[in-house]
Structure 1
Amino acid sequence: MADTAKTLPTDASVADFLAALEPARRRDEAQAIDALLQHVSGCPPVLWGSNIIGHGQYDYTYASGRTGTWPRLGFSPRKAQHVVYLMDGFDGQADLLARLGKATTGVSCLYVKKLADIDMDVLAEMARRSWAIMAARYPM
């Protein structure tokens, strides 16, 4: 079964996308998250769909046979909160979550209302762990 994902990498400028974000705090925070993920991944940012910024990518295959490609690390600077995508999820990250600060989680999503509420060094460590786990699961 082929990739039927609606969110795919684009050629759009990440810098232009980030520069257009309003208000200024949201723009500055998104640029900080992007810089952190670039540092951790060593990969340039790519705009996926209209609002997800991904770093690196991996190919997956579900048991159903469906395949796809998705960023190894990513984030989306939404109006209400930033969503950081740590694709391995949060198993084994309880120690870091306890130190991170004010944030909530989904399966592989970390929701942060403002960066002042979290410890960026802890976020960087979470991203490093996620990157390493994804690299082991899905070698480049």
Structure 2
Amino acid sequence: MYEQKTKENEASVVEFIEQIENTRKREDAYKLLEIFTETSGYPPKMWGASIIGFGSYHYKYKTGHQGDAMLVGFSPRKANFSLYFATGDTEREALLKKIGKHKSGKSCVYINKLDDIDVSVLKELITQSITFLKKTYSVE
């Protein structure tokens, strides 16, 4: 049976951020922490060893596979920041066109530093993602 690797846990978000060696990346991580906390309305929680997530929802696919995931989140990786938003909503792509310098994968948006993006668009993405997932998965 499949065991979900990235789970919410009780590790300290602040202790995790304090371990970031690069001063600028650590400062950006604290700024992102503030932006995601205020915009989402959820307290930050560690998901796995390196992702800071906000809120959660339970998903169940037609295949029967199910689990829990964060509504939104971010991870300060060595190369860049990974920002986690919902996929499947067309509004996401429109917002990404306005956010600024980034790369995107299936579910991640990658930025080098906070100064590269428009923070107001980041806040819109956070809100859009949470709204989409609440509607899709009947999250309260």
The runs of 5 or more residues in structure 1 that have no matched partner are none
Q: How does 1:47-62 map to 2 (within 5 A)?
A: 47-62=46-61
Q: How does 1:105-124 map to 2 (within 5 A)?
A: 105-124=104-123
Q: How does 1:1-20 map to 2 (within 5 A)?
A: 4-20=3-19
Q: Secondary structure at the match of 2:90?
A: coil
> For the residues of structure 2 that align with 1:79 and 1:11, how far apart are their CA atoms?
23
Matched to 1:126, the amino acid is L
Q: 1:121 to 1:71 in 2, by over 3 A?
A: same
Q: 1:134 to 1:47 in 2, by over 3 A?
A: same
Aligned to 2:130: 131
**Identical-pair percentage:** 38
| 1:91 counterpart = 2:90 | yes
Matched to 2:44, the amino acid is P
- Structure 1 segments, 4+ long, off by >4 Å, are none
Q: Secondary structure at the match of 1:72?
A: strand
Matched to 2:56, the amino acid is Q
> For the residues of structure 2 that align with 1:30 and 1:90, how far apart are their CA atoms?
26
TM-score by length of 2: 0.92
**Any idea what the Cα deviations from partners look like across 1:48-105, whole Å, max 9, x if unmatched?**
1100111000001111111100100111110100000002356223332222110011
Number of residue pairs the alignment of both structures matches: 139
Q: Report if aligned partners of 1:90, 1:107 keep a CA contact under 8 Å in 2.
A: no
Aligned to 1:81: 80
> For the residues of structure 1 that align with 2:99 and 2:80, how far apart are their CA atoms?
16
TM-score by length of 1: 0.92
